[in-house]
Structure 1
Amino acid sequence: MKNSQLLLHSLIFLILVSCFQAQAHTQTAPKETAVTQMQQDILFYINQYRIKHGLSPLKLNEVISAEATQHSKAMAAHQVPFGHQGFSTRIEHLYSAIKNAHGGAENVAYNYKTAKIVASEWIKSPGHRRNIIGNYNLTGIGIAYDNKGKIYYTQLFLRTI
């Protein structure tokens, strides 16, 4: 009897542990998926605006997105103030990494809850809108969360020949 109870308790324990492990594993994936989806959604709204104004859509570039993500993470970690500090360094890195790259612009935002709102606020702002409709063909979008759940966004723009 004791052996069967011990076996039953062990089995229940193993089931519970495996459930918690599965839950812990799946909790990291949705945030990554949500960030990727938000990047795609921002790109969609920005390109929708560009096309409406007779411009070619921007192509999302992984190298540019990585640079934008680093800046968003630095702002979210409060390693740099919210804004464009270090922009010239980011652009220099991109010129080195992307053949025939020139030009360059950057939009930043924080604490907007959806991609549609971020894109809409950038479009409403004359300076940000100028970047959106600028003579660029590549973009990168970086998104990061701070420890309070605020979202930091960076969009970089480049032109290649």
Structure 2
Amino acid sequence: MKGFKKLVLTGVLALGPIIGAGAVSAAPSHTVSSNDTLWAISQKYGISLKSLITVNPQLVNPNLIWPGIVLNIPGKSTGTGSGYGTGSGYGTGSGYGSGNGSQQGTGTDSTTQSSYASQVVNLVNQERAKAGLSPLASDSALTKVALDKAKDMYEKGYFDHNSPTYGSPFDMMRSYGIRYTYAGENIAKGQRTPQEVMDSWMNSPGHRQNIMSPNFNKIGVAYYNGVWVQMFIKN
């Protein structure tokens, strides 16, 4: 029986009280003052007006902003990916990467979970070493967050960065006490082995960018009933 493989990318966030996700990076959020306009804010951060509007979908009418609202500020880096977006900030991505694949993995015991997670960390660091990048340290607290996210997706039957239980990956990290200056998440479903899921991620430009980003120094990886989660941070 053929399974259905899925991949989704969330990019990184950067400094400050951040409330969004981008495909590559995001700078601090900005609290609107009485004299602000979107144009003035875009000029202040050296970004385009279009990218500022794109990362703030909560603005029903971009011509109307008011003091006290918090705006997401996209980063200047560029990149491509599925899920949350392409390029800076939220962007507009292509959604899930998908394809017909092998039967979904079913290993659920703690030994399998731990072994698969460790293997993925090793594979990530092998790829980073080839590019001359520093290895990512496996973080036990972040690994717990990743495992709870994988379980939540499996048990509640969804496949998305935004959890009905925990909110966005970044909300979830903060609720678990994870501190970061950059953060990111890759998720996948249906791959049977660590090598298979890594091949899928590395063949997707956006997911690969998270794996190979010099902005991260820690990683948490989880596997649960065919659901894979990578979480990345720098702190």
**TM-score, length of structure 1 as denominator length:** 0.70
In structure 2, distance between residues paired with 1:95 and 1:75? 19
Residue 72 of structure 1: CA displacement? 0.6
Q: Tell me whether 1:156 sits opposite 2:231 in the alignment.
A: yes
Classify the secondary structure of the residue corresponding to 1:143. strand
Give me the identity figure in percent: 28
Classify the secondary structure of the residue corresponding to 2:152. helix
In structure 2, distance between residues paired with 1:133 and 1:68? 19
**TM-score, length of structure 2 as denominator length:** 0.49
CA 114–125 in structure 1, closer or farther in 2 if over 3 Å, else same: same
In structure 1, distance between residues paired with 2:119 and 2:222? 12
Residue 122 of structure 1: CA displacement? 0.4
Q: Tell me whether 1:104 sits opposite 2:183 in the alignment.
A: yes
TM alignment of 1:13-92, pairs within 5 A: 31-77=109-155, 79=156, 81-86=158-163, 89-92=168-171
| Counterpart AA for 1:141 | V
In structure 2, distance between residues paired with 1:88 and 1:55? 31
In structure 1, distance between residues paired with 2:187 and 2:136? 17
Q: Which has the higher helix share?
A: 1
In structure 1, distance between residues paired with 2:114 and 2:146? 13
Q: Tell me whether 1:139 sits opposite 2:219 in the alignment.
A: yes
In structure 1, distance between residues paired with 2:115 and 2:125? 15
Classify the secondary structure of the residue corresponding to 1:129. helix
In structure 1, distance between residues paired with 2:189 and 2:178? 27
User: Partner residue of 2:81?
Assistant: none
Residue 80 of structure 1: CA displacement? 5.5
Residue 36 of structure 1: CA displacement? 0.6
Q: Which runs of 5+ in 1 are unaligned?
A: 1-29, 146-150
Runs of 4+ in structure 1 over 4 Å off: none
Q: Give me the CA root mean square deviation.
A: 1.9
Write out per-residue CA displacement over residues 4-43 of structure 1, whole angstroms, 9 at most, x where no aligned residue.
xxxxxxxxxxxxxxxxxxxxxxxxxx92111111111001
Max radius of gyration: which structure?
A: 1
| Counterpart AA for 2:138 | L
Higher relative contact order (CA 8 A, sep 6+): 1
In structure 1, distance between residues paired with 2:152 and 2:173? 17
Contact (CA 8 Å) 1:55, 1:133: kept in 2 or not? yes
Contact (CA 8 Å) 1:67, 1:90: kept in 2 or not? no
